[in-house]
Structure 1
């Protein structure tokens, strides 16, 4: 009986594979599901809102509420009609927050605003999404759709929120100077402003906002370019931030206890041209992972720093396997990466793939999941593991418009 069950399962799997078209990924409009002809992995288009630009969250921002995913959608072709009690129309092209059920692929629009918003902040325990419009922070309840005004920045402190802590009590972010904002306006391209902002050494301040009491706490100020503000996945008081700038010039990764104000350096460069960055906290909160190159563009690793013991875990990977961003699953047994084109720091000759990595001693064993040769890497794919750990979710423009996809592991 066991043999018959196994045969039946294999037969059902073969039928399922034959039901999907085996296609080259991208370069044309794709069906809702297909098998990548180069990797033999199944890909599903998650966002099926035609004529819209649909984007998933940045790699270190958790977009999931249960088995649903928060994403942004911008209407490029027409003006939407929305609920009269809120506003009469949404300006074409203005992105709004949507919720996608990963089982049914049903989408719901959660916000209806005229003005541009920013912030990819999800309290997944309470099902609340936070975002900012100008000087005001709002929240929307993913279940009830109730929108609330959370906080208005005072005139003398115009900050930007980017994170929520593990118990949903504190928002975190950074405040820049007016001089820095003017430099960004004058030099809008990253190739221009990255060195300029770094060399300017203008003041920045890390802050928290108590969601309940509305108390604003300025937790740390420096002349460094403080950026990439993230809270620990499990410790509500631990805030991670970076010293932004050219990576070979900075010791980038730091944490601060927002109660005691104790600052800890996570990684210190040990050689000329070493770089470490695009850091993210593990799901269990025990490890801070980051892209490490010793030196830049030569030897490639993903390294982890245990926040309790300081112990390091280091996995080597090959040049073509280097990715703009990496991510990890719930127990750090698998990692994923979004690859990169030849113009990225690795100068990879064949790096345009979505990757799955499995630790094997001190190295990664890589599996290619999606051929991204038709993707323009000016849009970073920003990989996430799905809540059930069976898919890697990413964004791409290989059909000519931005959408969110999932590839089966």
Structure 2
């Protein structure tokens, strides 16, 4: 990102979200960190879910692209923004709303579901490729790509489950209903070259949050979704050996673990841990090979809906939460940067999110150079994507 070229004295010092239209860059008056408006286009723009990688190098290798969704008259479309120049490019044009958030950085393609079919689009040429069509009566999705970018991973659900979703479109309405229904779900892979769909695990449970390991092409993580204090949530399975493995065992009543994600080297799974729910807060990491678990304690106000880890795996970010969330934090509406300090995390506030409505989750990402944290927010009255610099500005 090239905002360093701007004279710091020319950047206004403002309360984040205090203006209906914020400038392209400002310094948060409460944190002294610089924030930039990363996407300069009309309409709503949305960055990816926290554990879905949106980044890849530019074709010439001199910069970094980030893939994001933007609203258009033809439904949501996928775009790229050059993090060095802010140059935007629309890469999909097929009408209809797309779902997927899957970037293949090696093959330089994005994958998404449009209606009942899965497509890929070349990020550089914008050429579309058909991958797979779900047959009549088979309701499925794809949400992850394996490490060698040969397989997509997703789920197949029943018509009964889809009907519950159709009748209860709000999460607050469908969440307990889906969990209590205990309907059959299957984890699946789709071979990108052949279009072959393979069911590899089936259970009468709400299987969700599917993620392939970033380094092991056969390791798949999924969760038992539902009220977190009622489920053993985090599981891994080798798609060839097919033996599920529970990653965290709960030890007390109402203990919860969730919003799991892989470390960049694929060696650990990190997750939000509360023992019990809403009382004691940790960011925990489980070594996949050894089973060793480490825990970093957090204060109530520091709890975040989602956490993420820096590219060098030394620090963490969090997107905070409002008082309605599980932590019931009185002062938790911040974007945070966390640094391990013994068995705890030392926090630094980066962005005051008091004007943000947390019905939209910010979903933090570190930039690939580790210097910025990227998040989505609605404090201007629409959804857009911003970046906050980790280095503090002297004011």
Normalising by the smaller structure, the TM-score range is over 0.9
- The reply to whether residue 60 of structure 1 matches residue 41 of structure 2 is no
**CA distance in structure 2 between the partners assigned to 1:270 and 1:349 by the alignment:** 28
Q: Displacement of 1:27 after TM fit? A: 3.1
Instruction: Select between 234-243 and 189-198 the one with higher mean Cα deviation.
Output: 189-198
- Residue from 258, 266, 270 that aligns with 1:285: 266
Instruction: Please name the residue that 1:327 is paired with.
Output: 308
**CA distance in structure 1 between the partners assigned to 2:137 and 2:200 by the alignment:** 16
- Residue from 158, 170, 182 that aligns with 2:139: 158
Instruction: Please name the residue that 2:377 is paired with.
Output: 396
Q: Secondary structure at the match of 1:166?
A: coil
**CA distance in structure 1 between the partners assigned to 2:199 and 2:348 by the alignment:** 44
Instruction: Please name the residue that 1:316 is paired with.
Output: 297
Q: Secondary structure at the match of 1:160?
A: strand
- Residue from 10, 17, 40 that aligns with 2:8: 17
Instruction: Please name the residue that 1:42 is paired with.
Output: 34
**CA distance in structure 1 between the partners assigned to 2:119 and 2:56 by the alignment:** 18
Instruction: Please name the residue that 1:125 is paired with.
Output: 106
Residues 54/15 of structure 1: CA separation in 2 closer, same or farther (3 Å cut): closer
**CA distance in structure 1 between the partners assigned to 2:366 and 2:308 by the alignment:** 8
Instruction: Select between 365-374 and 105-114 the one with higher mean Cα deviation.
Output: 105-114
Instruction: Please name the residue that 1:205 is paired with.
Output: 186
Q: Displacement of 1:313 after TM fit? A: 1.2
TM-score of the pair, normalised by structure 1: 0.91
Instruction: Please name the residue that 2:386 is paired with.
Output: 405
- Residue from 33, 37, 40 that aligns with 2:25: 33
**CA distance in structure 2 between the partners assigned to 1:319 and 1:352 by the alignment:** 12
**CA distance in structure 2 between the partners assigned to 1:175 and 1:257 by the alignment:** 18
Deviation per residue, 1:176-216 (Å, 9 max, x gap): 11000111112222222111111110000000011112221
- The reply to whether residue 380 of structure 1 matches residue 353 of structure 2 is no
Instruction: Please name the residue that 2:84 is paired with.
Output: 103
Deviation per residue, 1:259-307 (Å, 9 max, x gap): 1112111011111011110000000100000000000110000000111
Q: Displacement of 1:140 after TM fit? A: 0.6
Instruction: Please name the residue that 1:275 is paired with.
Output: 256
Q: Secondary structure at the match of 1:159?
A: strand
**CA distance in structure 1 between the partners assigned to 2:323 and 2:96 by the alignment:** 37
Q: Displacement of 1:14 after TM fit? A: 12
Q: Secondary structure at the match of 1:193?
A: helix
- Conserved 8 A contact 1:27-1:400: no
Deviation per residue, 1:194-253 (Å, 9 max, x gap): 111111100000000111122211010000100000000100000100000000000000
Instruction: Select between 171-180 and 210-219 the one with higher mean Cα deviation.
Output: 210-219
- Conserved 8 A contact 2:322-2:332: yes
Instruction: Select between 113-122 and 237-246 the one with higher mean Cα deviation.
Output: 113-122
Q: Displacement of 1:156 after TM fit? A: 4.3
Q: CA RMSD in A?
A: 1.3
- Conserved 8 A contact 2:76-2:96: no
- Residue from 59, 71, 74 that aligns with 2:71: 74
Instruction: Select between 394-403 and 13-22 the one with higher mean Cα deviation.
Output: 13-22
Runs of 4 or more, structure 1, over 6 Å off, are none
Could you tell me which runs of 5 or more consecutive residues in structure 1 were left unpaired when the two chains were aligned.
1-12, 80-89
Instruction: Please name the residue that 1:344 is paired with.
Output: 325
